[in-house]
Structure 1
Amino acid sequence: MMTTEVPPIAGPPTPDPVETAFANLFRALRAKGVTVRADTGRSRLSCTAGTSVLTVVLRGRWWLIVWPDGEPDPILPVGQEWRMAERVRAVLRIGWVRRGPGLPRLDVGNEDGY
């Protein structure tokens, strides 16, 4: 008697955890009233509220805030997108990070108010 092997049934493709985390943070920030723009694919977000601008990047399994001096600061692991959105919104509301007129990069507030 001849037996034939039945190939396993392929289920739906499993979503990429990086893409899922990126999409979740994007949605969480928008839900909190932050204007979000995706930069360079799925690893960097520019977040804006009023005149404050902040960059958030995904490196490995961690969300990082990139401060105006260029130093990345690991904040929360992937899976904590709602908490990360709350922290980003809080930093933007404080107004620590601002973009001055004509400045293409992020800049910290100075005595001129930019």
Structure 2
Amino acid sequence: MGKTKFVKVAVEERLPRFGWVIAEAENAEISTVLFSPDSNEDKFKLKYKFFLEIVPDREDEMRELLEEYVQAIENETIIVKENEDNDGWENFGGRFYDKAKKLLNELKQ
């Protein structure tokens, strides 16, 4: 398994899969709980507000993709087409480039 991270999931959004989970109650108390949809689904919904779920951490892949995109625009190996009916560089491609560059700078800090 590659890199993973925990994400906070609201119980009102969905319930965890079967197994041990780290959950936060309404009173902010954190517990390790064995969750089983068959035995304690309603009880879990009443007591807990959030749970932590382990998911793949794709940060490195996203960073590499953004760096490749920014580099391609800066080296003009891809061109962000200006749309005459739109607002030139401020079109989607330009805004995406600016956001990608900003995010990469923030990740480096």
Q: TM-score range by the shorter chain?
A: under 0.3
TM-score w.r.t. the length of structure 1 is 0.24
The higher relative CO (CA closer than 8 Å, separation ≥ 6) is in 2
TM-score w.r.t. the length of structure 2 is 0.24
Rg bigger for which structure?
Answer: 2
